[in-house]
Structure 1
């Protein structure tokens, strides 16, 4: 493996700025310096192979052209990586696949009704296979450009890549191109509509269809310009350990996810579901009261346990018998806008199983569907006006060494076709209170709404607190618009 040491830069966004405008440039961002949980940043561009799944067709593109396949996308990706298998290195990623897997990719594995409007118009999977990566270790304060140089083009580009990233680390990044909203933000599920959906879920729970359903609303606005500017502001106001910026053909992704979906190291598997939320408060004493209330909440703990049990079952499909266990329950983790309860479930991959088979078997993550998973997804399709697209899918890397890490794509915005969209939701159980659940979706959307206000030509664009007062439950509401 080729490895070139670069000057350590705490803010790797400076280095990514050198490639941010390239199609297929991806920045897996641990949220430094603002996130207390971050460790590694991974920057890539120039994939030698791409896989794009739209409906039943996956287009594979390399330097020799394109081919289209109707085979399972996870199998296609596994087979694409297999010829390049490498032994594991100390760094988490030294080449391999990086991309997104949308929530709606689950339609390839499950028979779901088609009721919600497909307002996303984006592929269900977009993954690049990369021969080089810039990896930043924030704990050791080291930075490396790494490559197995599997393709001659990488060897030819290597000196220029080293020089480009050395220069980027040595000087301030150029200011990003402007970005601006051109319309107010709108929600697809106002307070009255949310109340109707909530009551429908309560009936399903009472009738025994399900135990928990995640109900989300989608926010959208027209916009123009370069969303890289918006991402730079997002990482300032809402740093998180599983952030990502993706510049893909036809769309950009801005993720501030706090949640790990699945990690594989060797044969060790870890998932860290989030269930349980309270808002942060500017007043220290009130903030502590919110955190203490969450930690003591029997309802939130019960909700968390439901999802822990679901994920134990999911990862058990590909893990060795008896290896799956809940290592830690109900840990309080605090982020810029919310407190969360986070649990940790681990297991050991069965012999012959791969990270991609694990991902397929667990997809989409149970923490953002409900329980049981399939019935909850059917109810989501019935009650949410629009398909989720990337929201509640995953952003992941799968290395040539077989290791993997992934987030749940929450607190995530997609910019495409001149529109920026983001979502917020929460789990509804039998003893949920409608007003509290509705308010929780706004707490989770707070950072994105703050981001929208920053780039809105209307400095008085309303935020969560104003809208909650202006549109109480039971009245017709049109949030942010």
Structure 2
């Protein structure tokens, strides 16, 4: 049983900052922030879960079955992640590329302490409560002052050279022209060795310049995810399932007239629309595995959403599921998300594995939570920095969708645009 109390908070930005710094003392942390982005499908503005009461950590073999057992038995709030390489559990696939991060393929925990914020109301839920623990923690949070600044000066290397990138995209285009695939998301890694950073501070800088709706600060002992993700993978809300894939990116401009033109150009870009529509079809197929007959619908097609760094083209696909359908089955039959794989999905993942040089791991996986009644909400891990403080390895990857209309040079420039925010926060003065 959880003890639940509510409190009003007045200075929300200050409190959110204090809450995050307080959380960082714990071994396990998941901090999810919508940055007050006006979302149609949203339960909370900010969520914090800390301090594992129970947890599950495993590699990809039987991972979804293990998660099913854990979620079914716990029937409580669970927070954690699904790494991209769980594809090896659902399909006859393998991952033999380099992995400098060494994260588990799947990790979830049942938090002792949970904070749920909606507007100015804070709901606190504690498991196995000690007397006065909520009040003492709340007072400790309010007493925190935060004004540290540690300049970053990290040498970032590129795993795939520009020349090699152009060659690999050309090979992917050969697969497309042969009819092996229609589209694939090709990614490349930027990395730093012997990297020493303050993860919380880097996260806050990244979040400040991006303000995305699915930001995450994740910590599991010495493993960190600092994410400025704009994309939802999958949400379950009662009997309704919602997917919101992103395909299509354009830069922002300080010139308002030019910015509107860039937005308009993206909306009318046939290449970007075709990419998005291909993924919409893939998601419709994925959701159909668990949907009630005739319930898969496209609510929004190729809508343009604006973020601080970029304009994005987003579609919304929904379905209905039976009460008896396991939430894990909904995830298993749609993972990894189509926006980070391609179509047809299995062929695309095989070709991706051949051409990429780094194991994706948590990048292009998903972070989120399950509620006690089996609802869930997960993002897509993109625009993110991954860090292992034990071996001091830091990594971030970026990618783009390759279709028959792709021009390798333009795809390379799109990758650099997506990497801009990460470079900025890691090489700040």
Question: For 1:145, what is the secondary structure of its paired residue?
Answer: strand
Aligned positions, number: 419
Which residue is equivalent to 2:21? 17
Q: CA deviation at 1:288?
A: 1.3
The partner residue of 2:54 within 49, 67, 72 is: 49
Match runs of 1:423-438 below 5 Å: 423-438=397-412
The answer (yes or no) to whether the contact 1:215–1:428 under 8 Å persists in 2 is yes
The answer (yes or no) to whether the contact 2:59–2:106 under 8 Å persists in 1 is yes
Q: CA deviation at 1:21?
A: 2.5
TM-score, normalised by the number of residues in structure 1: 0.83
Q: Which runs of 5+ in 2 are unaligned?
A: none
- Aligned equivalents of 1:137 and 1:226: distance in 2? 28
Q: CA deviation at 1:206?
A: 0.6
Question: For 1:358, what is the secondary structure of its paired residue?
Answer: helix
Which residue is equivalent to 2:102? 121
The answer (yes or no) to whether the contact 1:241–1:258 under 8 Å persists in 2 is yes
- Aligned equivalents of 1:15 and 1:317: distance in 2? 40
Question: For 2:30, what is the secondary structure of its paired residue?
Answer: strand
Which residue is equivalent to 2:192? 221
Question: For 2:333, what is the secondary structure of its paired residue?
Answer: helix
Point out the more displaced range, 278-287 or 422-431: 278-287
Match runs of 1:296-375 below 5 Å: 296-375=268-347
Q: CA deviation at 1:113?
A: 4.2
The answer (yes or no) to whether the contact 2:60–2:85 under 8 Å persists in 1 is no
Which residue is equivalent to 2:226? 254
1:137 pairs with 2:118: yes
Q: CA deviation at 1:5?
A: 1.9
Q: Is the alpha carbon distance of 1:249 and 1:167 closer, same or farther for their aligned partners in structure 2, counting shifts above 3 Å?
A: closer
Question: For 2:362, what is the secondary structure of its paired residue?
Answer: coil
1:74 pairs with 2:67: no
- Aligned equivalents of 2:132 and 2:158: distance in 1? 48
The answer (yes or no) to whether the contact 2:49–2:114 under 8 Å persists in 1 is yes
Which residue is equivalent to 1:190? 161
Question: For 2:359, what is the secondary structure of its paired residue?
Answer: coil
- Aligned equivalents of 1:84 and 1:341: distance in 2? 38
Q: Which runs of 5+ in 1 are unaligned?
A: 57-71, 86-94, 460-481
Which residue is equivalent to 2:208? 236
- Aligned equivalents of 2:394 and 2:8: distance in 1? 35
Question: For 1:47, what is the secondary structure of its paired residue?
Answer: strand
Question: For 1:294, what is the secondary structure of its paired residue?
Answer: helix
TM-score, normalised by the number of residues in structure 2: 0.93
Question: For 1:277, what is the secondary structure of its paired residue?
Answer: strand
Q: CA deviation at 1:30?
A: 1.4
Question: For 2:101, what is the secondary structure of its paired residue?
Answer: coil
Q: CA deviation at 1:161?
A: 2.9
1:3 pairs with 2:4: yes
Q: CA deviation at 1:166?
A: 4.0
Q: After superposition, what is the alpha-carbon deviation per residue over 1:88-107, rounded to whole angstroms, capped at 9, x for unaligned?
A: xxxxxxx5110011111211
The answer (yes or no) to whether the contact 1:318–1:357 under 8 Å persists in 2 is yes
The answer (yes or no) to whether the contact 1:136–1:143 under 8 Å persists in 2 is yes
